[in-house]
Amino acid sequence: MFQIEFDSPDSVVGIDLGTTNSLIACMKLTKPEVIPGEDGNRMVPSIVSLPPEGAPIVGNAARAELIDHPARTVYSVKRLMGRGVADVQEELKLFPFHIAEGSESVIRLVLGEKTLTPPEVSALILRQLKANAEAALGMPVTKAVITVPAYFNDAQRQATRDAGRIAGLDVLRLVNEPTAAALAYGLDKRKQGVIAVYDLGGGTFDISILRLHDGIFEVLATNGDTHLGGDDIDNRLLKIALEDVASEWGEDVSHYGEAVQTLRAAVIRAKEALSFALSATVDFTWHGKAYRREITRELFEGLIRDIVDRTLGPCRDCMKDADVTPEQIDEVVLVGGSTRIPMVRSAVEVLFRARPHTELNPDEVVALGAAVQAGILAGTVENQLLLDVTPLSLGIEIYGGVVSKIIHRNSTIPASAGETFTTGIDGQTNVLIHVVQGERELAKDCRSLARFDLKGIAPMPAGMARIEVRFLIDANGILHVTARDGRTGLEQSVEVKPTYGLTDEQVEAMIEASIDHAEEDYQAAQLAGARIDADAIMTATAKAQKNSAWLSLTDEERQAVTDAANRLQLAYHHEDHQIIRAQIDRLNEVTHSLAERMMNTAVNSALKGTHV
């Protein structure tokens, strides 16, 4: 039985929750190590099957169920995490399983007689990994670092956290997969540099370019193809083999699931052998008949050249988006089992003009990196930067007392984000920047962190000024807020310590308050937004009534505008935002003709005396 010496009761495991396979690892003394299951396999296929009775089947055992019982077996669920039905219509065409009726924002998969959400399916995979680790370590495993693709959005990341919680894991950190790969190779020990992470997995291809500065990774750009991977190579070889068998035997075996899966296993073995041999043989026996074909590496590379070339386009696009050239890339890391293919390694080396790192197992490198991050959090890996997250959202108060969130809760720090705002009053020359922390929609319900003035703004009509507000949280959790007049370049900044003075209980209370008052806050924010829009259109209407175009309207048109403005003024103090919106729409409708005439007047004035 595999046993690991765990460093301390507070140790944390690292998990690569993959599309095709998943792994779990931990720090063993001074290096990370993947934890195998009881069957000795280090990789757990990300496949789940739900039998009519009994416990769910996960991993290699579920792979067999995929052949015999596809309707109750699910794979590649990572592609569905945090996404709605409308987002995954193309993916669903490739899967044998179905979506439950009534699924809209949350997907529910029909697996036999049961239905599960993608996070619940992922939780079953995580539970299997957790059980493997507990058996090997001889102790409970409750804390984990889980890796996610760099392109995962907030919903996909939250779905991953939910899966961990359902599986009984406290997910301390989500780490981007390319960052984990770089950590596994110890590239964080560099002072600075640009790193390309080329990830060719079973079902997807991803390319990420990172910048490392003083131990902090920043993702400059990501690209890829969610339907490109080693499976495409396997399918091409399988198709050729099936055609060969049909020609040689005079029988099409593609309709027999067992035969197809047996032949697939044979071509995969040959493919893997070609990574280190110049030729390999596909051996297939079925119902007393035998098929045997030798494939040379030269033939193999000719068959897959276009698949490899398809990965290079996203790489070029990624470098363009990151604004770097191949000469500026210092390190190249390979991730995913398909990067063992010599042709893939050669193509990557030619494109990036640098020999890629191949020292670690490409199937395991992400899990190993997650274990390094886990070791940092557990305190068993020293002298490395401990990246953290901001516990509550940070933003500024805008017109109407509403909060505009700039850095959201659980964002990994260091973090940087910004937005552009404008003025609400004609001739405004200064803006009060009110920095707040919390999850509520109105500033009065959040914690005030700082206030400062941006003075000397060029006086302009309301809505014309451009005030750029940028938040930066450094590695020490210090918040730096900068406000800049986009036209004059005038700048003002303040330094805030957003998390100091807040206990875990206070943070939890603020989060619970945001949930308890969600509906109330939503209505308040909608009401504030409606009144802001009402102010704007009433001000614009008052100005228009002083324009010469006003006199060109008929008496009936002028009366309609006046009546609509009066009705909006009466509705303004109503507590129902929909009533205010209805009157805004009415005023918009009756002022349409006035707006057109004002525009014509302005154009005619601008063209007066001009000859074409």
Task: State how far the Cα of 186 lies from the Cα of 369, in Å rounded to an integer.
Answer: 9
Task: State how far the Cα of 227 lies from the Cα of 176, in Å rounded to an integer.
Answer: 20
Domain membership of residue 369 (yes or no) is no
Tokens at 287, concatenated: 């119902």
- Which pLDDT band, with edges at 50, 70 and 90, does 505 fall under? low
- 291 and 412 in a single domain? The answer is no
Nearest Cα residue to 37 out of 122, 129, 144, 140 = 129
Q: Give this prediction's pTM.
A: 0.61
| 330-363: b (≥16 Cβ within 10 Å) or e | ebbbbbbbbbbbebbbebbeebbebebbeebbbb
- Per-residue model confidence as pLDDT tens digits over 535-554: 878 888 888 888 887 888 88
- 584 and 496 in a single domain? The answer is no
Q: In sequence order, which residues have a C-beta less than 8 Å from that of residue 505 and are 6 or more positions away?
A: none
Phi, psi dihedrals of residue 255, rounded to the nearest 5°: -90, -5
Domain membership of residue 326 (yes or no) is no
Structure-model confidence comparison of residues 85 and 236, the more confident one: 236
> Which residue among 511, 535, 562 closes a domain?
511
pLDDT of amino acid 500 = 34
* Portion of the chain with pLDDT greater than 70, in percent: 85
pLDDT of amino acid 386 = 41
- 104 and 146 in a single domain? The answer is yes
Question: In Å, what is the CA distance from 570 to each residue of 178, 247, 535?
Answer: 57, 83, 12
- 473 and 586 in a single domain? The answer is no
Domain membership of residue 152 (yes or no) is yes
Beta bridge partners of 452: 433
pLDDT of amino acid 265 = 85
- 476 and 525 in a single domain? The answer is no
> Which residue among 302, 328, 361 closes a domain?
302
Structure-model confidence comparison of residues 198 and 461, the more confident one: 198
Helix H or strand E segment including 195 = strand 192-200
- 251 and 163 in a single domain? The answer is no
The pLDDT of residue 383 is above 90: no
Q: Across the chain, what does the average pLDDT equal?
A: 82
Nearest Cα residue to 437 out of 466, 471, 461 = 471
What is the mean pLDDT of the segment spanning 94-122? 79
In sequence order, what E strands does 304-393 have? 331-335, 388-389
Pairing of strands 192-200, 331-335: parallel
177 classed as catalytic: yes
What is the mean pLDDT of the segment spanning 473-488? 73
Q: Given the residues 16, 33, 162, 521, select the one marked as catalytic.
A: 16
Domain membership of residue 184 (yes or no) is no
- 234 and 292 in a single domain? The answer is yes
Structure-model confidence comparison of residues 418 and 95, the more confident one: 418
| 418-447: b (≥16 Cβ within 10 Å) or e | eeebbbbeeebeebebbbbbbbbbbbebbb
- Per-residue model confidence as pLDDT tens digits over 421-438: 887 778 888 888 888 888
The pLDDT of residue 478 is above 80: no
The pLDDT of residue 326 is above 70: yes
Nearest Cα residue to 184 out of 398, 312, 78, 25 = 25
Which residues constitute the domain of residue 113? Answer: 13-179
User: What is the domain-level CATH number for residue 281?
Assistant: 3.90.640.10
16 classed as catalytic: yes
- Per-residue model confidence as pLDDT tens digits over 223-252: 888 778 888 899 899 999 999 999 999 999
Distance of CA 94 to the CA centre of its chain: 22
Domain membership of residue 240 (yes or no) is yes
Q: In sequence order, which residues have a C-beta less than 8 Å from that of residue 204 and are 6 or more positions away?
A: 19, 79, 224, 225, 226, 227, 228, 229
What is the mean pLDDT of the segment spanning 453-479? 76
Nearest Cα residue to 378 out of 141, 163, 189 = 141
Provide the domain count of the chain.
4
HEC secondary structure over 314-331:
HHHHHHHHHCCCHHHCCE
- 435 and 527 in a single domain? The answer is no
pLDDT of amino acid 424 = 72
CB of 70 closer than 8 Å to CB of 98: no
Half-sphere exposure of 297 (CA within 13 A, CB side): 12
Task: State how far the Cα of 271 lies from the Cα of 286, in Å rounded to an integer.
Answer: 20
DSSP letters along 20-64, please? SEEEEEEEETTEEEEPP-TTS-S-EESEEE--SSSS-EETHHHHH
- 125 and 238 in a single domain? The answer is no
Q: Given the residues 33, 78, 232, 521, select the one marked as catalytic.
A: 78
Helix H or strand E segment including 212 = strand 205-213
pLDDT of amino acid 83 = 78
Half-sphere exposure of 90 (CA within 13 A, CB side): 4
pLDDT of amino acid 443 = 83
Task: State how far the Cα of 377 lies from the Cα of 388, in Å rounded to an integer.
Answer: 9
- 278 and 396 in a single domain? The answer is no
Pairing of strands 143-148, 13-16: parallel
Q: Given the residues 120, 162, 188, 199, select the one marked as catalytic.
A: 199
* Portion of the chain with pLDDT greater than 90, in percent: 29
Structure-model confidence comparison of residues 454 and 44, the more confident one: 44
pLDDT of amino acid 400 = 76
- 433 and 465 in a single domain? The answer is yes
Domain membership of residue 350 (yes or no) is no
What is the mean pLDDT of the segment spanning 397-404? 82
DSSP letters along 161-178, please? HHHHHHTT-EEEEEEEHH
What is the mean pLDDT of the segment spanning 506-513? 55
pLDDT of amino acid 51 = 87
373 by Cβ neighbours in 10 Å (0-12 / 13-18 / 19+) ranks as buried
User: What is the domain-level CATH number for residue 29?
Assistant: 3.30.420.40
166-170-176 Cα angle (round to 5): 100
pLDDT of amino acid 513 = 62
CB of 133 closer than 8 Å to CB of 26: yes
Q: Given the residues 120, 177, 331, 439, select the one marked as catalytic.
A: 177
> Which residue among 253, 284, 302 closes a domain?
302
Using alpha carbons only, how large is the chain's radius of gyration in Å?
A: 30
